[in-house]
Amino acid sequence: MRDGKVLHAIVCAYPALGHLNPLLRLSILFAQQHIPVTFVSTQFYCDRLRELLRNGHPCTRTGSQQQGLDGADETFERGSILEGIFSAECNSEQGKWHECHEKQWDISFEGLSDGLPIEFDRRSPSTELSRAIEHLRPAFEDLLRRLLHPNPNVSYFIIYDAFLSWTRDVAMSPHIPRILFWPQSASVFTIFRRTEHILRSGINPFVDDLDADPGRMIDCIPGLPVLPASYLPYRIQFVAGKDRRFLLYENLGYQDRQCREASCILINSLDWLERLPDDTLKSNIATPIKLVGPLVLLPYLELDLSVFSNRVECEEIMEWLDTQSVSSVLYICLGSVVSWTKSQIQEISLGLTEKQQPFLWVMRPWEMRHVLPPEVLKFGKVVAFAPQIQVLGHPSVGGFLSHCGWNSTLESLTMGIPILAWPHFLDQFPNCWFVVHVWKVGVQLSRTTKGRMEDVVVDRNQFTAALALLMEGESKELMKLNSMNMKKQIQERLRQYNSYSNLRIILSELLPERASA
């Protein structure tokens, strides 16, 4: 409370896992500062989030063995070191989290109807889903009018997702601070804000075939590590035809205006991780920028997109991991968007069988209809959902085959697990470049074909070659060493200078000034 007014956050999230998870974590951090939060997204997701905070995730496991800060096994349970490092209220001496029960978290959920039938698959981007998201605008306008009804005792501020383009126009009241949330890396934020530099260098990422010249390097953005043009974050997988990149171009234009008009910009990263100079990050934007990551959800608050997984199934996963040797299991998960094709399942299965590689493979129910070779199931387990943070923290897991989405990348770095990188679109490519060539904590899968990312196949030989580098010999030991060093440095950085303290800076500097205006 400042000047007799109570702060109240309105958090508006794009309805996709990569956006919902960090914004839920951010909301919890605000609630821990005794700031009420109204979390806004689609009804479909708000119903699940509300249940999640009320009951916790069914995959919560008490008393299982996890890797501690020094790589040694330690018991994981609520109040453990894993939660301690993520909490704004961490006691650094004991590494214990002063647990805030859900009843103490003043977070309410406002679900907006997307107009789609309940059985509609919201996990796969589509034209219908894009249109439905645009149609949320009138409902959000009505909600704001209701919430922002003049109240002399409340000072509201809005945190909105950069990928919800219409929130800029809806939340234009000069008396309400508007905080833009960027869910991807600070480096990708910088690349998008410096698109004009790339265009002036002779590359048009909205038109050119970025694979045409593998040796073409991007060195026109001061302060950013040099990377190939083929790793720029401009590939869009989901929209058919040549208009796909125009849609990205249009969206980036909206984002630039959002950045300039926002009261503040929050980025899900930390300064040590990407080491971008301030002038590189800010570009020509006067808006204050704060790094508030890594916004990794606590293990018992992992969100399953469809339904809440059965506790018995989750226990079976963790019990199976308990039977495996230390650092022997390859965890396979391509996130909530990328789909497995029949041919790709076959190639990966053959590679796993050839290497006799223990694995835990996350695959959607409809993807499981593709028949796996029976011999591959001798070496691993296929599941529809896994509690990812708990899995990555289990001592038997030695590698992570990932699409390099930013959330998965942060989780893997924080838990010290090397990555077998297989990017598919947008920010996954520069994330992959950082994983393999900057941080040196992973190896990239080679691709068989060029052209549409939907048609690219990694064959068994390419897979087994990359798998050997990740899980065997000197290369394995080097990547594991680098991963553990990254883990320790990230967590030590959070202890010494908690990124979440930037939230307190915002509250003490920006919002009180607006509240007292």
- What are the tens digits of pLDDT across the range 82-98? 333 333 333 333 333 33
CB 183 within 8 A of CB 163: yes
Helices and strands in the chain, H and E counts: 20, 19
Tell me whether residue 357 is in a domain: yes
Structure tokens at 139: 């409902």
pLDDT range class, residue 400, cuts 50, 70, 90: very high
Tell me what pLDDT residue 298 has.
54
**Mean pLDDT: which of 106-110, 128-132, 441-445 is highest?**
441-445
Q: Does 205 share its domain with 258? A: yes
Tell me what pLDDT residue 166 has.
76
Tell me whether residue 142 is in a domain: no
Higher pLDDT, 261 or 359: 359
Structure tokens at 188: 């990708």
Is 50 exceeded by the pLDDT of residue 102? no
Q: Does 255 share its domain with 312? A: no
Q: Return the closest-CA partner of residue 282 out of 357, 194, 343, 384.
A: 194
Q: Does 313 share its domain with 449? A: yes
Structure tokens at 136: 């949320």
Sheet with 397-402, edge to edge strand ranges: 380-383, 359-362, 329-333, 397-402, 419-421, 442-444
Residues 6+ apart with CB under 8 A from 477: none
Tell me whether residue 479 is in a domain: yes
Q: Does 250 share its domain with 397? A: no
Torsion angles phi and psi, residue 178, rounded to 5 = -115, 115
Q: Does 451 share its domain with 386? A: yes
Could you give the angle at which helices 43-55 and 17-32 cross, rounded to 10 degrees? Answer: 50
Structure tokens at 331: 């965890």
Is 70 exceeded by the pLDDT of residue 497? no
**Residue % of the chain over a pLDDT of 90:** 34
Tell me what pLDDT residue 101 has.
42
In terms of C-beta density within 10 A (0-12 exposed, 13-18 middle, 19 or more buried), how is residue 93 classed? Answer: exposed
CATH number, domain of 367, equals 3.40.50.2000
Q: Does 253 share its domain with 315? A: no
What domain count does the chain have? Answer: 2
Residues 6+ apart with CB under 8 A from 367: 339, 340, 345
Tell me what pLDDT residue 103 has.
45
Task: Report pLDDT digits (tens) over 415-457.
Answer: 999 999 999 889 999 999 999 999 999 999 976 544 455 556 7
**Residue 359 vs residues 79, 172, 211, 356, 444: alpha-carbon distances, Å:** 29, 50, 32, 9, 18
Q: Return the closest-CA partner of residue 334 out of 237, 198, 250.
A: 237
Tell me whether residue 131 is in a domain: no
Torsion angles phi and psi, residue 225, rounded to 5 = -55, 140
Please give the model's pTM, rounded to 2 decimal places: 0.85
Torsion angles phi and psi, residue 42, rounded to 5 = -75, 155
Please report the DSSP string for 181-203 in residue order. EE-S-HHHHHHHHTHHHHHHTT-
Q: Does 218 share its domain with 313? A: no
Tell me whether residue 117 is in a domain: no
Cite the DSSP H helix spans in 283-416.
311-322, 342-355, 388-392, 406-415
Tell me whether residue 132 is in a domain: no
Is 90 exceeded by the pLDDT of residue 293? no
Tell me whether residue 102 is in a domain: no
The domain boundary residue, chosen from 210, 241, 262: 262
Higher pLDDT, 151 or 348: 348
CB atoms within 10 A of CB 103: 8
Which amino acid is it at 72?
Answer: A
Residues paired with residue 289 on neighbouring β-strands, in sequence order: 265
Domain ranges, residue 203: 187-262
